[in-house]
Amino acid sequence: MTTETPRFRLGFLTHVLGRGDDPGRTYRNAQELFVAADELGFDVGWVAQHHVPLGGGGLSSPWTFLAHAAARTRRIRLGTAVTVLPLEDPVRLAEDVSTVDVLSGGRVEIGVGSGSGAVEYAAFGQDPARRRELTSENLRVLRSALANEEVRTPGFRIQPAAGDFEDRIWQGVFSGDGARHAAAAGSNLLINRAAYGFDAPTDEVQRPWVDAYLDAWDRPRRPRIGLSRFVFPARDKRTALRQIGDDVHRAALRMAESGAFPKGLDTEEALRRFHSFHGHPDEIVAALRREKVLPVATDLITQFNPAVPDHDAALRALELIATEVAPALGWKPVTGTPHDSTPGTLPGTTPDTTPAGA
């Protein structure tokens, strides 16, 4: 494996949520977050695909959304965390991905996962019991298509021809087995904001998954590890709670109905279950420095979900992340087009420290 450490990158993720029944406003506000993040120097903007509406909205067609974001931004990379791969035709998906990549000047990252909703699978005529099988098979076809190989029939290759996606495909996982599976496929790793179904702290649950992934990695390049975390800085903790507390509590109660969280959680426990970092930037930095997965991450992916803060508060939170939180963790914005190969230092490490298991 190369000894070159990937540059530490800063991202943000939106599930495209809003309040009320005006999807146009919700989508426009989400686009404005991409524009603001681009101007603030964020490296990657991510969206999540959901075919069934979440509380306050959701995004069923991420590549259409990202094509519009590509036209409104200059340098930020554009990705999905995740596209629900078993519910996609992988050849058609590859065509969409390549088209957005061409339009954006090569700024696309694609994260894939198996999803979790039985209703989504039923709507698309797929068996949720086959989600891992379908993910693996569709990922194989997707990789071939994005490598500009013939797919499904002699003489057929996608157009426009794809750029080099060897190090731009990610997989979201929820277990050590899933992490090893992603490593075997040669995918970068996406770690969710919270570990559902566990009582232990999220980072204690997830760190062994990342170690298993690194132990299983056998490719020449160093992989990227994207760590998604709920980060909401504000003037102080009281101000942050006023913006996010009720939404997080409601979301936790909804998740308790499916068994992901225990029933009867109060707001404080809901915030713990969502592994929330909120309050003054200094408080958030101190807490993130104790985070057990961050030292081996190459990408910190911040999000406000499941909270739906006011648009102005969301913009201010992005600004605080980019100007106060991330720089204190070792992140530096780049000018012009970001280059993944730029050497850098992982947060909380020294220059000669390498990820565990590497």
Note the residue count of the chain.
358
Mean pLDDT of 74-86: 98
pLDDT value for 352: 32
**pLDDT at residue 38 greater than cutoff 90:** yes
What letter would DSSP give residue 163?
A: -
**Phi, then psi, of 327 in degrees rounded to 5:** -60, -35
Mean pLDDT of 87-96: 98
Three-class HEC string of 299-316: EEEEECCCCCCCHHHHHH
**pLDDT at residue 353 greater than cutoff 60:** no
The C-alpha atoms of residue 173 and residue 220 are separated, in whole angstroms, by 22
Q: How many CB atoms lie within 10 A of CB 264?
A: 9
Whether 300 contacts 331, CB under 8 Å: yes
**pLDDT at residue 48 greater than cutoff 70:** yes
Give tens-digit pLDDT for 180-200: 999 999 999 999 999 999 999
Give tens-digit pLDDT for 149-162: 999 999 999 999 99
**pLDDT at residue 354 greater than cutoff 50:** no
pLDDT value for 3: 65
The C-alpha atoms of residue 189 and residue 186 are separated, in whole angstroms, by 9
**pLDDT at residue 348 greater than cutoff 60:** no
Whether 230 contacts 274, CB under 8 Å: yes
Whether 45 contacts 11, CB under 8 Å: yes
pLDDT value for 355: 34
Q: How confident is the model at residue 345 (pLDDT cuts 50, 70, 90)?
A: very low
**pLDDT at residue 339 greater than cutoff 50:** no
Q: How many CB atoms lie within 10 A of CB 174?
A: 18
